[in-house]
Structure 1
Amino acid sequence: MNPDDRSRVAPDLKSETAAAPEEAGKSIHLGLLGRTPPFTRRQRRVFWIASTAGFFNEYDRALLSLALKQIQAGLKIAESQLGAVLSMIRLGYLLTLLLTPFADVFGRRRLLLYTVMGYTVFTGLSAVAPGERTFVMFQIVARAFAGAEAAVAMVIVAEEVDAAHRGWAIGLLGAVSSIGYGLAAIVFAFINVIPYGWRGLYAIALVPLVLIIPLRRVLPESARFEKEKLEGLRPVKVWQPLVQLYSAYPGRLMMMVSVASLASMGGSAAALLFPKFLQDTHHWSPGNVSSLFFFGGALGILGSIIAGRLSDRYGRRVMGAAFMFLSPILTVWMYTAPGWSIVPAWILEEFFDIASITILNAYSAELFPTSYRSTAGSALAVAGTTGGALGLLFESVLFNITGSHARDVCYLTVFWIIAPAIIWFFPETSGRELEEISPEANAI
């Protein structure tokens, strides 16, 4: 192909991702979620289809936490082994690092289609798991597919939207995805009514999943991926994105991994054990827990949108450090608060926790080049998973000493509060084009 031919078929990123005069970006009001960025028609389609990936990841994650007491009873999991079981399930996200390189080699769209099918199968198997071991095994594989879906969806949005609104779009993606958490909260309120209890809640997830598969087929491929494919910059071997990720920008990678690991070491046990804590310690009913997570969570997820917009205006580094510093402090409050004061404590903690996750997600998409950007997104998930698994294992060890999950969670926040200091060493990325932030290594 000669240069003239290539110029006719290579996608122009400005024409693909920015609004043309005849197709000016339009902002849509979403009620509680606020307005969307000024998306073009293509950007709107990409955004809404990509948001379905995070929806199912959030539903699955929320369901395990909300129905933990019932799952524990149904599968006869010992109290002293609970942290270890949750840790093993979280390890499923480690497998996303084996899946996401396929998105950097073969395309973002194709991997989204395959991961939704894998997630559907293993979510269905989780609903009929006969015992603890099989449930854990099915959940591990389901988490691998769900984590890969969410990582690639976030990369697609980051690559498609304009630089000035990238943080806003990623924040809104997180907020829309959190609707899956809200759905889990709603159905959990009926856990004593729905046939087969917690197993029925997992089966419910299969209905929208089947409906989503045809929708994914109209998702366009990322313009940046297509451009690099035509220019010969796309990796051709599945192992290449992994090698490039660990060799091209080692400093950035180590900083991102450290922040995600430390935050998860302190935060994972707090999030997973909280619904059980409310039922065991404060004697809340499933309906009360569901109401808090649905109505309070609706306020908490605004942290995603607000974090995105503030980080576009004031910078990822400043806002990320501030949000992550407040999260562990509020976690200690919500595990020690008396009576109903636990409600505002949880809402504020959820707000700042979601806000800090939004900043980290934006960084994972911005700090690395297109040729291995999806792999970088899964590296963030792997770091969080590893840290979270270690935190849950520590919680199990501490429980054998203290006999109190709440006290253990407060001790673990020591790891979490270290993470904000590392963010100060991150480069500032807000308002800059991806190619300026992270040029391909062979072009430096």
Structure 2
Amino acid sequence: MSTTPPTPGATLHDDSSATAQSPQQAPSDGAFGWLRALGPRGRRAFTGAFGGYALDSYDYFTLPLSMVALAAYFGLDSGQTGLLTTVTLVVSAIGGAIAGVVADRIGRVKALMITVITYAVFTVACGFAPTYETLLVFRALQGLGFGGEWAVGAVLVAEYASAKHRGRTLGAVQSAWAAGWALAAIVYTLVFQFLDAGLAWRVMFWTGALPALLVVWMRRRVQDAPKASQTLGSSAHKGSFAEIFKPDLLRTTLFAVLLSTGVQGGYYTLATWLPTYLKSDRGLTVVGTGGYLAFLISGAFLGYLTGGYLTDRLGRKRNIVLFAVLSAASILAYTNIPDGANGLLLVLGFPLGFCMSAIFSGFGSFLSELYPTAVRGTGQGFVYNTGRAVGAVFPTLVGFLADSWGVGGALVFGAIGYGLAVVALLGLPETRGRELL
């Protein structure tokens, strides 16, 4: 049996794409043709998904940026601080899988709002944690919402986007991660400059209440794509884990999990430990760390947009291979710069952020195209977040090895993750140009 949904050719077309982009109403030429092609409803969906993912990123980075202060406040070693990230990512696998099923059963928009509320509430709760153990529990619960937001938002937008523009459209959604990261770095720099570190980390978590405003707007303005609405009302197999493990989808699911594990293992290793590496190993100040992160984040933002464009031009698989190789090379170069050459860190921060982000740009379109509408949320939520959970082992390994290897030396595990991603592509088909079933 076929391992993936058949390429449609003369079969079904995505009604939401057809509805969203008639030539008279939404010309698709030019730099922003992909945005015009979404139509008014699609653009509102894009705004909701972009905002949700940006704030998801902001709430996530409140922890890595505050990690040094947290370690000092609670008296933690590297392994304990790494565990805070790992528990977030592991629980996010549960949250992401649940959110995908919920999206297939009650709708994409409703599921998206639930995930945003969840991660916002528990991010704020982290700021009130009296002990390390309490913080660990709150951070785990934050992972429930954090895990589901991207998968649900990506499916929502993918079902509005045309096959021609789906890669760059979802790449633009991915760029919201860099926007949220940048906002978190700015707030971090200001908060830690003007407040004592023992209070500043709490304030960082309290600012995680911002997403509540987005939910109010989404409730009034954002709707599911027509094709998804029709399927949700008629399919007997919607939101079923059993469906994504049946023979026709089993191979796809297993290899997609491996792909997600490799890419996210590499990414979260770097995202979690880079601020600590810059401060502890390289001796940079708070403002200095923020300046170096600015180059990394600006590279990430452009990487998401460029990767989205290339995934439509080169194909999903070629884009991932290209940036897996470049990301691994960038990590090795970045962590082997001699002492006293911190200027090179500034220079290499931009390509590092660019490469490790561009590889993600095709994920939203690629995973959406691997599954039919009835289980698209379930498949994408399970695959992406299971990979995130297994990849979460990487930051913990870095934490436990940091005392003997140094943070910079231990970051080599990030490069290993990208190698796994390339191997996983051998079991997956190319889906560029595929209409959604």
Deviation at 1:325, TM superposition (A): 1.4
Aligned equivalent of 2:56: 57
1:379-430 CA distances to partner (integer Å, 9 max, x unpaired)? 2332332232221333344345x24121111255234323213324421111
Deviation at 1:62, TM superposition (A): 2.1
Q: Is the 8 A contact 1:163 1:432 kept in 2?
A: yes
1:224-262 CA distances to partner (integer Å, 9 max, x unpaired)? 2112134x22546xxx52111122411111111112213
| Matched AA of 1:389 | A
Stretch of structure 1 that moved more, 391-400 or 211-220: 391-400
Normalising by structure 1, we get a TM-score of 0.87
Aligned-partner Cα distance in 2 for 1:286–1:180: 19
Aligned pairs for 1:345-360 within 5 A: 345-360=348-363
Aligned-partner Cα distance in 2 for 1:27–1:95: 40
| Matched AA of 1:219 | V
2:193 alignment partner, SS class: coil
| Matched AA of 1:199 | R
Q: Higher relative contact order by CA 8 Å / sep ≥ 6: 1 or 2?
A: 2
Q: Cα RMSD (Å) of the superposition?
A: 2.4
Aligned pairs for 1:37-56 within 5 A: 38-56=37-55
Aligned equivalent of 2:73: 74
Distance 1:168 1:120, change over 3 A: same
Q: Is the 8 A contact 1:172 1:305 kept in 2?
A: yes
Distance 1:383 1:12, change over 3 A: closer
1:267-301 CA distances to partner (integer Å, 9 max, x unpaired)? 42222111111011211111122222234412321
Stretch of structure 1 that moved more, 246-255 or 290-299: 290-299
Deviation at 1:102, TM superposition (A): 0.8
Q: Is the 8 A contact 1:264 1:385 kept in 2?
A: yes
| 1:146 equivalent in alignment to 2:146 | yes
Within the candidate set 209, 212, 215, 1:213 is matched to: 215
| Matched AA of 1:353 | M
1:308-343 CA distances to partner (integer Å, 9 max, x unpaired)? 111111211111111111111111111112321112
Aligned pairs for 1:332-343 within 5 A: 332-337=332-337, 338-343=341-346
Q: Is the 8 A contact 1:266 1:412 kept in 2?
A: yes
Q: Is the 8 A contact 2:171 2:307 kept in 1?
A: yes
| Matched AA of 2:361 | T
Distance 1:301 1:424, change over 3 A: farther
Q: Is the 8 A contact 1:19 1:25 kept in 2?
A: yes
Aligned-partner Cα distance in 1 for 2:54–2:374: 26
Normalising by structure 2, we get a TM-score of 0.88
Aligned pairs for 1:19-418 within 5 A: 19=22, 21=24, 23-25=25-27, 36=35, 38-96=37-95, 97-190=97-190, 191-194=192-195, 196-206=199-209, 208-217=210-219, 218-230=221-233, 232-233=234-235, 235=237, 240-247=239-246, 248-337=248-337, 338-399=341-402, 402-411=404-413, 413-418=415-420
Aligned-partner Cα distance in 1 for 2:266–2:232: 40
2:83 alignment partner, SS class: helix
% identical aligned pairs = 22
4+ residue runs over 6 A deviation: 26-30
| Matched AA of 2:393 | L
Q: Is the 8 A contact 2:257 2:383 kept in 1?
A: yes
Distance 1:27 1:69, change over 3 A: farther
Q: Is the 8 A contact 1:103 1:110 kept in 2?
A: yes
Q: Is the 8 A contact 1:322 1:420 kept in 2?
A: no
Aligned equivalent of 1:429: 431
Aligned-partner Cα distance in 2 for 1:12–1:300: 33
1:358 alignment partner, SS class: coil
Aligned-partner Cα distance in 1 for 2:176–2:82: 29
| Matched AA of 1:431 | G
| Matched AA of 1:408 | A
Q: Is the 8 A contact 2:281 2:407 kept in 1?
A: no
Deviation at 1:163, TM superposition (A): 1.0
Deviation at 1:128, TM superposition (A): 0.8
Q: Is the 8 A contact 1:317 1:428 kept in 2?
A: yes
Aligned equivalent of 2:16: 13
1:102-140 CA distances to partner (integer Å, 9 max, x unpaired)? 110111111122222222221110111111111111111
Q: Is the 8 A contact 1:25 1:39 kept in 2?
A: no
| Matched AA of 2:428 | F
Count of residues paired in the alignment: 415
Q: Is the 8 A contact 2:263 2:418 kept in 1?
A: yes
Aligned equivalent of 2:6: none
Distance 1:156 1:339, change over 3 A: same
| Matched AA of 1:430 | R
Structure 1 regions of 5+ residues with no counterpart?
A: 1-10, 436-444
Q: Is the 8 A contact 1:260 1:387 kept in 2?
A: no
Distance 1:148 1:107, change over 3 A: same
1:55-93 CA distances to partner (integer Å, 9 max, x unpaired)? 122112222222211122122212343333322222121
| Matched AA of 1:52 | G
Stretch of structure 1 that moved more, 54-63 or 167-176: 54-63
Q: Is the 8 A contact 1:101 1:374 kept in 2?
A: yes
Q: Is the 8 A contact 1:65 1:272 kept in 2?
A: yes
Aligned equivalent of 2:422: 420
1:178 alignment partner, SS class: helix
Deviation at 1:378, TM superposition (A): 1.7
Deviation at 1:20, TM superposition (A): 5.5
